[in-house]
Amino acid sequence: MSETPARRNDWQTLRALLPYLWQYKVRVITAMLLLVAAKVANVGVPLVLKRIVDALGVTPHTAVLLPLGLVLAYGALRLCASVFGELRDAVFAKVTQGAIRRVALQVFDHLHALSLRFHLERQTGGMTRDIDRGSKGIAFLLNFTLFNILPTLVEIVLVALILLKKYDWYFAAITFGTIVIYIAFTLGITEWRMVHRRTMNNMDSEASTRAVDSLLNYETVKYFGNERWESERYDKSLRKWESASVKNQVSLSFLNAGQAGIIALGVTALVGLAAQEVVTGKMTLGDLVLVNAFLLQLYAPLNFLGFIYREIKHSLADMEKMFALLNRNAEIKDNANAIPLQTQQAAVAFNNVDFGYEADRDILQGVSFEIPAGKTVAVVGSSGAGKSTLSRLLFRFYDVNAGQVSINGHDIRNLTQSSLRQHIGIVPQDTVLFNDTIYYNIAYGDPTASHEQVIEAARSAHIYDFIMSLPQGFETTVGERGLKLSGGEKQRVAIARTILKNPPILIFDEATSALDSRTEKAIQAELRAIAASRTTLVIAHRLSTIADADQILVMDHGRIVERGTHGDLLAAQGAYARLWQLQQHEQQTTPLEAAPE
């Protein structure tokens, strides 16, 4: 799977954003009307100013009366331009923030819909920076495209029409010529500069990825004394980012200088031409003031337009990767006719299942077994035999390559994923907790559960006394990924969480591997009690924990090589019997067994 999809066209990105805006079409239309009204008022200001100047230059007695009304009109127009602009911003605020919220929520939901394969390959730090920059890019794009570029274009059209109607054509020609040269220069240089911006983004994401990954693995870094190595890797990305940032700033300075030069030439030409017309009597002093006011009024936002265009291009680049995430197809999807699973008695069956994470490497080959409703089947075998893959297929994190996995005779590919997973509870070997309280992590098994039910789940998992011994009790924060708790404590929280979920199907994937022998025996009794009426798949390393299973499967290199009860397998004197003897010998030679902390 390619980590970086093909680069999107800017228009594709804009089109992807439009549906989020059109949900607020009344507000969008209202804001556009206010925008036009503000610009009409703004263009009217120089026209009234010309009338004032001409009126003052006629005769003294008219200068006392006539300009008063014009001055009031001048003030009213400036006030309207400002008020309409503020109203426009207020009306459109809901559109901008609503679009950001909806896009961010859709990306968040889509990431949860993507397969486990995607999340195993992703780089968390870089991906979160892409989403963060993309969200900010939406706000910038909407505000400045609609409220700077569009108003400037409206104003350019209005000014050009006035110049063409009131003055010789070459006034409009110089104005348009300057604008065309300015825009062409801006577009050309900006496109050239974008390579530096994209490099900055990539290096920023890479640096963030390395920093987050290193901090998440803080203990490993310390174990091997590799702080210097991690610092050098991080600085390598920062140096590339620094180089791209310098080039970006130098090219920006060149662009700004070029834009200023073009505007200066245009303004000088128009003012000089207007002054000559005044000298020859073709234009009044008010006309000169009008042309100058139009130029200052027009080129000020036009100068800003260069910055806006650059930032819009940057925003599009920032949004590019975020929208690309939405384009990633979910590997595992509900079928169009998928039905919800609704049962309290679930029979599970693997029928001739073949599966591999990669096309050229098989993990499971022809695996077939059944777990009758309410029964327990245990799976043992060496590391890499494919034991944990069974649980991932049952949860439908992946689809089988051949064969099928079924519950009560229904192929799980024909069941809705949400209902399927609601019926399965798991205590994994490597428990990861949220950076929240112990109470929150237990209640995560059923967010609707009452306080009493959460407490009872903690008691059942034999962790209640430990929790109450803590200064903050259930409100104790467990830290990033639960690092403030020992392995055994995390495992017991996971067991309590699964007990609270109360599903008809249970999976214990090395569920007591992090516990000492005394705690393991206590929890095993509780696990047997909660599994008594449930369909249970136990993936185990310690054979003593699964001796009472209804059936035991022995796996080797993706195949089931033995199956039967504990007694049957010992009598067969095969792989299971040899493993049993080996573990019994280890227990006799290592009587004191402690849980890893």
What DSSP string runs through 204-237?
Answer: HHHHHHHHHHHHHTHHHHHHHT-HHHHHHHHHHH
pLDDT at residue 119, rounded to an integer = 67
Q: Hey, what long-range contacts does 9-13 have (CB within 8 A, 24 or more apart)?
A: 10/313, 10/316, 12/323, 13/316, 13/319, 13/320, 13/323
Asked if the model's pLDDT at residue 76 lies above 80, the reply is: yes
Whether the per-residue pLDDT at 254 is higher than 50: the answer is: yes
Q: Which is nearest to 321 in space by CA: 141, 126, 102?
A: 126
The torsion of the CA quartet 406, 410, 411, 415, rounded to 10 degrees, works out to -110
CA–CA dist 193, 166 (Å, integer): 40
Does residue 329 surpass a pLDDT of 50?
yes
Please answer whether residues 199 and 111 qualify as being in contact, where contact means their C-beta atoms are separated by less than 8 angstroms: no
Contacts of 85 (CB under 8 A, 6+ apart): 34, 35, 38, 147
- Best CA proximity match to 457, nearest among 472, 438, 476, 471: 438
Among candidate residues 317, 267, 263, 318, the one with its CA nearest the CA of residue 292: 267
Q: Is the pLDDT of residue 307 over 80?
A: no
Amino acid at 9: N
Burial (0-12, 13-18, 19+ Cβ within 10 Å), 236: middle
Token readout for 192 is 């050239």
Domains of the chain, earliest start first: 10-327 (1.20.1560.10), 431-502 (3.40.50.300)
- Give 476's Cβ-side CA count (13 Å radius): 21
Report how far residue 69's alpha carbon sits from residue 46's, in angstroms, rounded to the nearest whole number.
15
Task: Report yes or no: 122 and 202 within 8 Å, Cβ to Cβ.
Answer: no
Which two tokens mark 351? 């029928």
Give the burial class of 128: count Cβ atoms within 10 A of its Cβ; 0-12 exposed, 13-18 middle, 19 or more buried. middle
pLDDT in tens, 152-165: 777 778 887 887 88
Mean pLDDT value across residues 56-74: 65
pLDDT score of 5: 40
pLDDT over 50 (residue 373): yes
- Report the mean per-residue pLDDT for the chain: 81
Give the CA count within 13 Å in the CB-facing half-sphere of 179. 20
**323, 16 in Cβ contact below 8 A?**
yes
Cα–Cα distances (Å) from 171 to 39, 270, 295, in that order, read 21, 7, 11
Q: Which amino acid is at 404?
A: Q
Q: With cut-offs at 50, 70 and 90, classify the pLDDT of residue 59.
A: low
Place of tokens 């019997």: 577
Average pLDDT over residues 72-97: 85
The pTM assigned to this predicted structure is 0.63
Would you state the structure tokens that stand for residue 157, as one six-digit string? Answer: 């059209």
Q: Cα 498 vs. chain centroid, distance in angstroms? A: 28
Question: What is the rounded CA–CA span in Å between residue 286 and residue 78?
Answer: 19
Burial label, 8 (beta-carbon count in 10 A; 0-12, 13-18, 19+): middle
The count of residues in the chain is 597
Spatial separation of the C-alpha atoms in residues 69 and 351, rounded to whole Å: 91
Highest mean pLDDT among 193-197, 293-297, 424-428: 424-428
Residue 338 and residue 416 in contact, taking contact as beta carbons nearer than 8 Å: yes
Region of poorest pLDDT, from 186-195, 232-241, 486-495, 556-565: 186-195
**pLDDT for residue 6:** 42
What does each C-alpha distance from 584 to 166, 565, 578 come to in angstroms?
Answer: 104, 18, 10
Which pLDDT belongs to residue 596?
40
pLDDT at residue 524 is higher than 80 = no
pLDDT for 403 = 92
The pLDDT-based confidence of 597 (bands split at 50, 70, 90) is very low
Measured distance CA(292)–CA(266) in Å, rounded: 11
Evaluate whether 466 touches 523 at the Cβ level (below 8 Å). no
- For 282, other C-beta atoms within 10 Å of its C-beta total 12
In this prediction, residue 77 has a pLDDT band, given cuts at 50, 70 and 90, of confident
What pLDDT was estimated at residue 253? 85
| CA–CA separation, 252 and 258 (whole Å) | 10
Q: Is residue 88's pLDDT more than 70?
A: yes
* Whether the predicted pLDDT of 73 surpasses 70: yes
Q: How many CB atoms lie within 10 A of CB 57?
A: 12
Structure confidence by residue, pLDDT tens digits, 95-124 = 888 887 888 788 877 777 776 677 666 666
